[in-house]
Amino acid sequence: MSRRAGSRLALALVLALVGCESTGNVGGVPGAILGGMTQTLTGANPADIRGAATDIDEPEEIELGRAVTAAIGSRYKLLRDENLTRYVALVGNAVALQSDRPDLRYYFGVLDTDEVNAFAAAGGYVFITRGTLALVHDEATLAGVLGHEVGHIALRHHVETIRDQKKAAVTRGVGTSLFQIGSGFIPGAGGTATRAFVSSPLMNLTADGLVNLTLKGWSRSEEDQADGVGVKYASQAGYDAAGLRDFLKAVTEGGQQPAKSGFLAKFASTHPGADERLKHQEAQLKTAPPGGRRATARFQQAVAALPQ
């Protein structure tokens, strides 16, 4: 079973448990709904509801990206190092500017874990772990890894999944009440003021599926696609196109060392087929433009404070 098929099955099971959700329920947000302020599509043609509900635009994708980011930040500890975060984001922005969605605002963060991994949430949110930075030796390699993650976003891999999951949810009858307005105190958010927010059972299911997908990983085909464009973006940004190849090489070599294999195991599960990807990279490099910068000293300076 492919990963995506597995996700669909998981979603179907969730939906089966949820059953046919009715209007008026806000998916467990306690006491937050303001009476009379809910917005629904009651009275609309069911076909129109399906069409509207499965449509996805950028603001909604970005919001789902924020939801996934909150989930990632709860699974891992965020490394709140301003200088390191800024440096990773500078490299990431240089690469993203060359992407197929250069008009999307990208946000980059570092996760404080030895685990070797990187994540692309929907809507432009990208995370790389401290363990990955420890495996990287120069900026070109970092650009290759970030280019791959930006690639998932630029190729709209999330959007396709969001659409699939929304269609499945709407077919099951979830989401006749699309959005409802609420307000309340948001734990973790700055300040103590009550904030307004919207809730939607349909969107919650979509976000759950997206969190699952982001943390568990993409299909091999999506990984290959992200590699292909990631190398292109990094190269067009002026980096040596061999960066991603060098990273995959470090991953496959590290996986054979007992001391490192544990930290790399998660990467293997979320980014399948590193050996095959490495072969593809070697082939792609034969036609990639030569040269490009490595910026080793700048990278080493930026990560110097990281614990080894």
Of residues 214 through 243, those in contact with other proteins by CB under 8 A are 238, 240, 242
Q: Which stretch binds other proteins (CB under 8 A): 13-21, 173-181, 253-261, 271-279?
A: 173-181
One character per residue 123-152, x = contact with other proteins (rule: CB under 8 A): --x------------xxx------------
> Under rule CB under 8 A, how many of the chain's residues touch other proteins?
81
Instruction: Provide the angle, in degrees to the nearest 10, between the axes of the packed helices 82-96 and 139-154.
Output: 60
Tell me: does residue 253 bind other proteins (CB under 8 A): no
Q: Which residue(s) pair with 146 in the sheet?
A: none
Query: CA–CA separation, 54 vs 121, rounded Å?
Result: 19
Q: Which stretch binds other proteins (CB under 8 A): 2-10, 100-108, 212-220, 227-235?
A: 100-108
Residue 55 CA, distance from chain mean position: 20
Q: Coil, strand, or helix at residue 81? A: coil
For the record, the structure tokens of 205 come out as 């299911």
Which lies closer to other proteins via its Cβ, residue 68 or residue 274?
Answer: 68
- Based on the number of CB atoms within 10 Å of its own CB, is 21 exposed (0-12), middle (13-18) or buried (19 or more)? buried
Which lies closer to other proteins via its Cβ, residue 13 or residue 34?
Answer: 34
Q: Binding to other proteins (CB under 8 A): which residues in 69-88?
A: 69-74, 78, 80, 82, 85-86
Q: Which residue(s) pair with 195 in the sheet?
A: 184
CB of 136 to other proteins, least distance (A): 14
Closest CA to 101 of 130, 124, 122: 124
Tell me: does residue 188 bind other proteins (CB under 8 A): yes
CB of 23 to other proteins, least distance (A): 14
